[in-house]
A and B are shown apart, each in its own frame.
Chain A
């Protein structure tokens, strides 16, 4: 009699357990798959889809399948908020990977902080993790690192006086601010400082002003999206002879395609992912970047970009954190994220901590130059 009861109870518990186990792990995403930041969001979207599929094919996480719920926020901060609300309230996701742009990310930070959902951002500005926020992490290198890496390269070429041109969005303004702040530390003087608007198609006026500033030895364009391509084209048109530097916001073949021949000779700091095949075998990132690069290009028949790489890192970090936490309990996943050290990603080697929610340092940035329409590592 008692064994029968026991058996029934055990069966019920098993069934309940199985029902819970069938619950998929919900990964929420909001990406700028269309709009001005599409060449960030589109590879991010594709990457997340590809690797959620791969993870599920390998058995999922802790025996549970992963479910990706993603929305196109089109680079718009307001849409991002609406979708994140939807992800949290309606779709009840366990973790959020997304926010292609700084503007979108910063707009949703109050929402994830209030709701207590781990959020891994794919955007650039340092303000996302500084001051550090409990639930917010990020995978891309910061704009401050970009400034520093660029200034290092400039000093190596004996460049001292530069012109700065930036756009109107959150990342642009943030990077401009960071560059102005750290320039003195590298003995760089910013003698011209111009700005353009969102989706502007003609920067010749601003560049003419920079060109006519005496003593200019290089120009730095702090921005991302379509505008840097136009800046680059205008740069070539105005025959401004000095070197042009871009930020890691253009680390995609789309930029080279749009800027055409004008992109030749442009330098930018970027993750090793873009030069995966030419990296030395001994490089710690070699295996991961070559693996991602080949899998992405085989599946989508298009070039990789660092943005897809950031999404890959974001997803893998989330997966690793869930594994370590042994559950999808949000607080457990969050602390697990903070404890990750030595993770080799496409962006670099990641060492998270309670004070550092990004985990990369300046050495994770390589300096690249566009040569014959392709990325080449600058020694």
Chain B
């Protein structure tokens, strides 16, 4: 087994980090930060498949996250469904929505695609905020704890392991997808769409496929977040969170699964560490976005790897 490929070495490294991290986590508050990183990383890994590998763009992925979160929340809190069933139904529902919406949206390119996904995300967040009888409106709603075979999973420590496992699964799935024939078709699309089509690849089908997969990643992350927090608000469903997610992916490095994880970690930690410089948070965040794209257009991790490879020569 070659330990230097992402699929084996990288995953093993990630697993090691997840297992050893608790030694550095002083109290529940830091566990929560770690869980938050994990959740963002799951969404980013999926989003990276769409943006980095397939070369598309989505400025509305927080919408899928929100649908996942509110779907699970509403089914369990308002209709008394068992959480596992709610999770399954919600994920299936979001996949269907992504399929239906994906076909017309992914016929667009470039700026038009960006704006269409933006519009989609905003419409989702407006609906969630407005239907307050179902969703609790702008102030949010409570969510019952996740139960598995009657056992309630609550508390930061249990959830840390759940999210850790989910993240490993997500990364492993993504890496396998990239190496598969479908993944190669995707990358061909990214390079030159018309050329790929001429080679026999069904462009729309491939693009919609990735769109649905990335939506599913986001939806599952959303559902898990809802149960973990015990409470959700529309804050994570809006335009700003969509931008945050794209920034994490781009910062970490497009076309790099582990880059997406690192991007998520960095940009989730940043606000936490910056609460001291609270008023400067926005300025720093914006500056980071601009500076990264201007100076490191490949993103953080790939640029780093590039420098390392250069040194090796």
Direct contact between A and B judged by beta carbons closer than 8 A: yes
B residues within 8 A CB of A81? 229, 231
Does residue B204 face the partner (Cβ distance < 8 Å to A)? no
Q: Which of A72, A78, A90 has the most CB of B within 10 A?
A: A78
- Which of A101-109, A280-288, A318-326, A337-345 lines the interface with chain B? A101-109
Does residue A60 face the partner (Cβ distance < 8 Å to B)? no
- Which of A168-176, A210-218, A270-278 lines the interface with chain B? A168-176
Report whether A78 and B233 are in contact in the complex, using a CB–CB cutoff of 8 Å.
yes
Report whether B139 and A89 are in contact in the complex, using a CB–CB cutoff of 8 Å.
no
B residues within 8 A CB of A102? 139
CA distance A291 to B28 in the complex (A): 42
B residues within 8 A CB of A198? 129, 138
Report whether B278 and A85 are in contact in the complex, using a CB–CB cutoff of 8 Å.
no
Question: Within B196-255, which residues are at the interface with A (CB < 8 Å)?
Answer: 229-233, 235-236
CA distance A72 to B281 in the complex (A): 13
Name B139's contact: one of A79, A86, A169 (CB within 8 Å).
A169
Q: Which of B29, B130, B138 has the most CB of A within 10 A?
A: B138
CA distance A103 to B142 in the complex (A): 12
Report whether A168 and B235 are in contact in the complex, using a CB–CB cutoff of 8 Å.
no
Mostly, the A contact residues are helix
Report whether A86 and B29 are in contact in the complex, using a CB–CB cutoff of 8 Å.
yes
CA distance A71 to B233 in the complex (A): 19
Instruction: Report the count of interface residues on B (CB-CB < 8 A).
Output: 21
Report whether A89 and B27 are in contact in the complex, using a CB–CB cutoff of 8 Å.
yes
Name B138's contact: one of A82, A103, A106 (CB within 8 Å).
A103
Report whether A110 and B235 are in contact in the complex, using a CB–CB cutoff of 8 Å.
no
CA distance A286 to B94 in the complex (A): 60
Question: Within A54-85, which residues are at the interface with B (CB < 8 Å)?
Answer: 71-72, 76-79, 81-82, 85
Closest to A199 in B: B138
Report whether A78 and B140 are in contact in the complex, using a CB–CB cutoff of 8 Å.
yes
Instruction: Report the count of interface residues on A (CB-CB < 8 A).
Output: 25
Question: Within B140-194, which residues are at the interface with A (CB < 8 Å)?
Answer: 140, 142
Does residue A260 face the partner (Cβ distance < 8 Å to B)? no
B residues within 8 A CB of A241? none
B residues within 8 A CB of A79? 235
B residues within 8 A CB of A169? 137-139
Report whether A77 and B129 are in contact in the complex, using a CB–CB cutoff of 8 Å.
no
A residues within 8 A CB of B233? 76-78, 107
Report whether B27 and A78 are in contact in the complex, using a CB–CB cutoff of 8 Å.
no
CA distance A49 to B27 in the complex (A): 28
Report whether B137 and A168 are in contact in the complex, using a CB–CB cutoff of 8 Å.
yes
Name B27's contact: one of A90, A103, A104, A168 (CB within 8 Å).
A90
A112 to chain B, nearest CB (A): 13
In the complex with contacts A78-B236, A85-B29, A198-B129, A170-B139 CB distance below 8 A: yes
Report whether A85 and B28 are in contact in the complex, using a CB–CB cutoff of 8 Å.
yes
Report whether A197 and B130 are in contact in the complex, using a CB–CB cutoff of 8 Å.
yes
CA distance A254 to B90 in the complex (A): 44
Contact with A along B17-49 (1 / 0, CB 8 A): 000000000011100100000000000000000
Closest to B26 in A: A90
Report whether B278 and A72 are in contact in the complex, using a CB–CB cutoff of 8 Å.
yes
In the complex with contacts A107-B139, A197-B129, A89-B29 CB distance below 8 A: yes
The 10 closest A-B pairs by CB, nearest first: A103-B139, A170-B139, A78-B233, A90-B29, A77-B233, A89-B29, A78-B235, A89-B28, A77-B140, A77-B139
Measured CB to CB, the residues of B under 8 A from A are 27-29, 32, 129-130, 132, 137-140, 142, 229-233, 235-236, 275, 278
